Amino acid sequence: MADADTDRLAARRPLSPHLTIFKPILTMTMSIAHRITGAGLYVGMALLALFLLGAAIGGGAFSAVSWIASGFIGNLLVLMVVWAIFHHLLGGVRHALWDRGLYMDAKGRELLAQGTLVGGILLTLLVFIFKTLAS
Amino acid sequence: MTVAARFKSGRTGPGDAYVSDHSGSPHARFMRLTSYALVPLGMLSAWWILGLAGKPLEAVRAEIGRPIPALVLLAFGVIGMIHARRGMDDIIEDYVHDKALKAQAIVANTWASRVIAAIWILAILLIAAPK
């Protein structure tokens, strides 16, 4: 009885990210994007592992998994994985800077949030352009 | 480096599925250390992963079959999935509030990440190992 009451109270206790009451701001959005790209990379790595296994076996196995990296869906998927790598990587660099006490003021953290967003897209575009030129 | 096999609550009794475990600092340090390795590995891997898009089988094998891309992608897959497993643990601990479900999700995550890493290793070795 008492346990059930405490459980109900615990369930009603507000949890850390008060998403419904915060005004959406860039630093918060980049924090969420860091987690989403991380989870996305988990799925992306699973799909790429299947693609590589198909390529290793060859024949019918490769035809079964080739959608992961070719065609419209495959190209989009690979591009999203590459963007997620860069965005998550820059998000990590941001954390490494904060670990050292740098860029923690309002202007600094806003700059880092903008840098993560723009840098992730820019690096993806750069790699895409260089890769297209190289092939 | 302590690796918690399952969720350990910082509280006992009711509501214990709502608070994170005792290993916050080792966890943070572990994520930082793996991420340092993943910065160069991730940038190089992004380059070679993008190179796989739209390629026929022979070209994919040629791309992965060279020693440096094979080694880098191998390291990226292994260290990446170790890092990803701990990151997914974070997500489960934050959002799954049923104690039994939380424990099951963490075990499922542990094995899923191991299977993904194992497939990744096997596939690259099959392609790149000298015949």
pLDDT tens-digit profile of A4-20? 776 677 777 766 666 77
- The complex's ipTM works out to 0.89
Q: Quick one: CA dihedral A58, A64, A66, A69, positive or negative?
A: negative
Query: What residue numbers bound the domain in which B106 lies?
Result: 39-128
Contacts of B124 in chain A (CB under 8 A): 52, 56
Q: How confident is the model at residue B54 (pLDDT cuts 50, 70, 90)?
A: very high
pLDDT tens-digit profile of A79-101? 999 999 999 999 999 999 999 99
Chain A: residue nearest B38 by CA? A89
Q: How confident is the model at residue A135 (pLDDT cuts 50, 70, 90)?
A: confident
d(CA B25, CA B23): 6
For residue B89, the distance in angstroms to the closest alpha carbon of chain A comes to 11
Stretch B24-34: mean pLDDT, rounded? 90
Q: Mutation test of the interface with chain A: which of B18, B32, B60, B101, choosing the one with the most A Cβ atoms within 10 A?
A: B60
Domain membership of residue B4 (yes or no) is no
> What is the identity of the amino acid at B86?
R
- DSSP class of residue A104 equals -
Structural domain count, chain B: 1
Residue B65: helix, strand or coil by DSSP?
helix
Whether residue B91 contacts residue B20, with contact meaning beta carbons closer than 8 Å, is answered with no
Domain membership of residue B26 (yes or no) is no
Residue B64: is its pLDDT beyond 90?
Answer: yes
Domain membership of residue B34 (yes or no) is no
Domain at B45, CATH number: 1.20.1300
Partner-chain contact B52 A69, CB within 8 Å: yes
pTM for the complete prediction?
0.88
Q: How many CB atoms lie within 10 A of CB B90?
A: 16
pLDDT tens-digit profile of B96-129? 888 889 989 999 999 999 999 999 999 999 999 8
**Mean pLDDT, rounded, of chain A:** 91
Q: Was domain A26-134 assigned CATH 1.20.1300.10?
A: yes
Angle at B103 between CA A30 and CA A41, to 5 degrees: 35
Q: What pLDDT, on a 0 to 100 scale, did the predictor assign at position B3?
A: 46
Q: How many CB atoms lie within 10 A of CB A53?
A: 19
